[in-house]
Each structure stands twice: as C-alpha cells, then as structure tokens.
C-alpha cells in the first residue's frame, strides 16, 4: 500500500497489482475500500491496476471536512493521484458508483484521460434511470436464493440511511454475481468489512450537478469510452449501459454474457478480451 496527499491534505492510499502501463481504478460502493477490485487486475491484459482507496475507506484517511465525501469533490483525488504518479495522461476505470466520479473527472480534465472505462456504472450523474429492472430480477427467479434475496433487495433500495441498508446488502448480494458460488460468497461477505458508512452516506449527499449539463458535455467528449455491463446485473442493466454509451461520440457498450455486477469474477477471460482490446486500441 502506498500513499499520497490530495489537494486538501487528506492522505490517501492506493495499491498496485500487475505489470505494465497503469490503469487508474476507482472503487464504487459507494464507500467501499479498493480491496474488492484486486481480482480485476487479471482482466486488464498487459496493464497494471492502480487501485485507489477513496477518502475515508480502507487505508485512506478520513477527511477533516465531511462534505468532501461528495462524489463531485472526489474528482480532485483522482487528479492528485495522477499528478503523484507523474502521468501526463491516464487510462481511467470507474466501477459502479465511481462511474459518476470518473466521468466527471474526464469531463473536467479531458486532456488527462486517454481512455475511459465505466464498468457496471451508476448513471445517476447523467440522469438515466435503471432500464428493465424487473426483467433483470426475473431472470434469476429459478435460483434457490431468489425469494429471500428479492425481499432483501427491496428492503435495501427502500432504506433511507446506509446504516439501515447494511443488514440487507449481503442477503441481496446473489443478484450481483453471475454464479453464487464460494468465490462470490466470500467476495460479498467482505463488503461489511470494507464499507465505510460515513463515506457511503456522504457520496450522494446534497448533489449539486446538473444532469442535462453533464449530458451536453458528454456529447462533446472526444475521449473513447467503453461501458461494460453484465447480462444479469439489475442495476445497471445492459439497456441502461447502452443508453449511457450512446451519450458519447466515441462510446461503445459491451455486455458480458452470464455476468452481473462484478464481471471479472464471472469470467475473467471474456472480460479481458473486451477490456484489453479497448485499451490496446489507439486513442482518437
């Protein structure tokens, strides 16, 4: 684990996995430490994964100002990491809720991003709702865990605080894995230890961004963008990902068959083929 200081002096941590040119990887959750993403490194081809612990998570320091947990402020942490690494331009990957942060960073610093990967991203910042949610759940109706997981998912999405949602998250977790096997169960169980409730609660607090304005900026972005979704993911569904990819002049959508919210666990080789092919392509 290595450290650097962000613009406001908060000490942030990151870890590096693999060899080759770096891909900056920003965790989602929101509020989950980057450990859950370590398995993603194998899907990046001949690249290394530089995985950030967002402020207040994992080995990163809690900020003095709780308002700085908001996702639009986390953009500054990505820029500080880029500068710390001495990179003029980066390939950037944001997973889940970090899709919001990574997209905002790219729009704010387009000259710093060679390629952007939005993996199973939240689309909240651009105002795109979840498409085909009920259909996505129904695809798993044959699974033995379906009834209990669906009840938990409804309770989770209806929770008003992060604290209230925590008991439901692991019960609902099977929906977010293509196979509910031992590896998936271990990965899901780790969330309780990796989650920072203050960071999670602060991520979307008092949102100040303008979705219409963000979409207008996205329509002018020249950076290549790959939106990855899992065929079985209830949010974002493939239809949601396709709508997001369509916002960008150089956007493309990849749907991984049989995968859900953590596609590197479902089939690393299939994901690697899509991601490495995108990263190896010369930028526009």
Question: Among 1-10, 52-61, 199-208, 256-265, which stretch is predicted with the lowest mean pLDDT?
Answer: 199-208
d(CA 157, CA 225): 29
Residue 228 lies in a domain: yes
Residue 109 lies in a domain: yes
**Residue 157: is its pLDDT beyond 90?**
no
**Residue 260: is its pLDDT beyond 90?**
yes
| Res 284: pLDDT | 61
| Ordered alpha helix ranges (H), 86-196 | 98-108, 133-138, 146-157, 162-172, 182-189, 191-194
Mean pLDDT of 91-117: 98
| Res 164: pLDDT | 86
Output the average pLDDT for the chain.
Answer: 95
Residue 174 lies in a domain: no
d(CA 94, CA 118): 5
d(CA 81, CA 53): 11
Residue 152 lies in a domain: no
Any bridge partners for residue 118, and if so which? 94, 227
The residues near 210 (Cβ < 8 Å, ≥ 6 apart) are none
User: Do strands 11-17 and 2-5 pair parallel, antiparallel, or not at all (unpaired)?
Assistant: antiparallel
**Residue 274: is its pLDDT beyond 80?**
yes
| Ordered alpha helix ranges (H), the chain | 71-85, 98-108, 133-138, 146-157, 162-172, 182-189, 191-194, 197-203, 211-218, 238-245, 263-266, 268-280
Chain length of the chain: 284
DSSP-derived 3-state class of residue 281: coil
Mean pLDDT of 85-92: 97
* Domain CATH for 254: 3.40.50.1820
| Res 163: pLDDT | 82
| Res 121: pLDDT | 98
Residue 230 lies in a domain: yes
| Res 172: pLDDT | 97
Give the structural domain span for 105.
2-132+199-280
**CB 168, CB 155: distance < 8 Å:** yes
Residue 162 lies in a domain: no
Rg (CA), the chain: 17
Mean pLDDT of 104-124: 97
**Residue 165: is its pLDDT beyond 90?**
no
**Tens-place pLDDT, residues 11-51:** 999 999 999 999 999 999 999 999 999 999 999 989 999 99
| Res 283: pLDDT | 64
Residue 189 lies in a domain: no
Query: What confidence category does residue 160 fall into, taking pLDDT thresholds of 50, 70 and 90?
Result: confident
Q: Which two tokens stand for residue 129?
A: 């709702």
User: What domain count does the chain have?
Assistant: 1
| Res 50: pLDDT | 98
Residue 74 lies in a domain: yes
């Amino acid at each position: 684990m290595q450290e650097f200081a962000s613009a406001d002096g908060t000490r942030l941590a990151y870890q590096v996995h693999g060899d080759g040119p770096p891909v900056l990887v920003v965790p989602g959750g929101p509020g989950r430490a980057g450990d859950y993403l370590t398995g993603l490194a194998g899907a990046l081809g001949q690249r290394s994964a530089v995985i950030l612990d967002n402020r207040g998570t994992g080995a990163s320091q809690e900020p003095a100002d709780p308002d700085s947990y908001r996702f639009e402020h986390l953009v500054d942490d990505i820029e500080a990491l880029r500068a710390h690494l001495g990179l003029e331009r980066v390939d950037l990957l944001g997973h889940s809720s970090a899709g919001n942060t990574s997209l905002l960073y790219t729009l704010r610093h387009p000259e710093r991003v060679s390629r952007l990967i939005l993996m199973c991203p939240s689309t909240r910042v651009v105002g795109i709702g979840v498409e085909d949610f009920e259909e996505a759940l129904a695809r798993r109706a044959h699974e033995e865990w379906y009834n209990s997981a669906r009840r938990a998912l409804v309770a989770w999405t209806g929770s008003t605080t992060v604290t209230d949602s925590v008991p439901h998250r692991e019960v609902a977790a099977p929906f977010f894995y293509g196979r509910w096997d031992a590896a998936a169960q271990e990965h899901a169980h780790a969330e309780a230890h990796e989650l920072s409730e203050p960071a999670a609660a602060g991520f979307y607090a008092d949102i100040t961004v303008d979705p219409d304005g963000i979409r207008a900026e996205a329509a002018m972005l020249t950076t290549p963008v790959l939106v990855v979704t899992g065929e079985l993911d209830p949010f974002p569904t493939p239809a949601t990902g396709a709508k997001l990819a369509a916002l960008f002049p150089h956007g493309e959508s990849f749907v991984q068959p049989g995968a859900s919210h953590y596609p590197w666990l479902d089939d690393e080789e299939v994901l690697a083929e899509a991601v490495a092919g995108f990263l190896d392509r010369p930028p526009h």
